Amino acid sequence: MEKTERLLEKLEKIFGISRILKQRDDLYFVNVSEEKLVAVLTHLRDVENFTHLVLMSNVDYIERGVFQLTYILHNYETHIDLAILVEIPRENPVLDSIHHLWKQGWAYQREIKEMYGVNFPNSPRVDEAFVLEGWEEIPPMRRDFDTQKYSEETYFPRGNRQTNDPKTYMAKKLYPQGEK
């Protein structure tokens, strides 16, 4: 644990990481600026032994106008997870590719490009579609995309769909005379 604190202090000095959040004893979240992302990841992988890229994902914070990308790294010696958060603007989002650090990175990046429209220049096959062949709308995982409206306009809804609020429905069914 002390080791991790020391590591974070060091990262703060070298790269200026900010807003360190300790989620658990073995899970820390840190924020990094867009430009220093690849430098931090390279340093963590080659010097600090965070050799495993657990996942890479994206969150759309439409209220703040940013995309937040998350890179979770794992250290097999100390079993510490370190999550690197990067925020980039929602307009014309572009970020440096990490496929040269972890080979599987291209798959994550291709998916994020398809679902959110975040571009990763020079990442292999980043412009090819995973599932959305011939997609013409805005990327569907962006929160300003109305998926229900799109579905109703496109996929011939059957129109006899009924929904019940589970709580009131079950209460009526179990206690027809009203709850005691």
Partner 1 sequence: MNKEKLANDGLKESEKHLFCDTRPQPYKSYNKYWEKFLNWARAESLWILGFGTGCGAIELRPLLTARYDISQYGMAPRATPRQSSVFVIGGYASVKTLKRIIRSYEQMQGPKFVVAVCSCSINGGMYWDSYNTINRIDHYIPVDVYITGCMPRPEAIIAGFGDLKKRIKEGRADGHNEYVENLDWYKANQKKIIKDWDMPDYNW
**Which residue ranges make up the site for partner 1 (CB under 8 A)?**
131-137, 140, 145, 147-148, 150-152, 154-158, 160-161
Tokens of 166: 């589970």
151-158 long-range contacts (CB < 8 A, ≥24 apart) are: none
Burial 154-179 (b: 16+ CB within 10 A, else e): eeeeeeeeeeeeeeeeeeeeeeeeee
What distance in Å separates the CA atoms of residue 115 and residue 160, rounded to the nearest whole number? 30
Q: How far is the CB of 140 from partner 1 (least distance, A)?
A: 4
For residue 47, the SS3 value is: coil
DSSP, res 41: H
CB of 108 to partner 1, least distance (A): 19
Q: Which of 34, 28, 39 has its CA nearest to residue 75?
A: 28
- CB of 151 vs partner 1, minimal distance in Å: 5
- Residue closer to partner 1 (CB basis): 127 or 179: 127
Is the CB of 76 or the CB of 135 nearer to partner 1?
Answer: 135
Cross-strand partners of 60: 67
Q: Cβ closer to partner 1: 43 or 142?
A: 142
CB-based contacts of 33, cutoff 8 Å, min separation 6: 16, 86
* Contact partners, residue 34, CB within 8 Å, separation at least 6: 86, 87, 88, 95
Smallest separation (angstroms) from partner 1 to the CB of 138 = 11
Smallest gap from Cβ 122 to partner 1, in A, equals: 25
Q: How far is the CB of 161 from partner 1 (least distance, A)?
A: 6
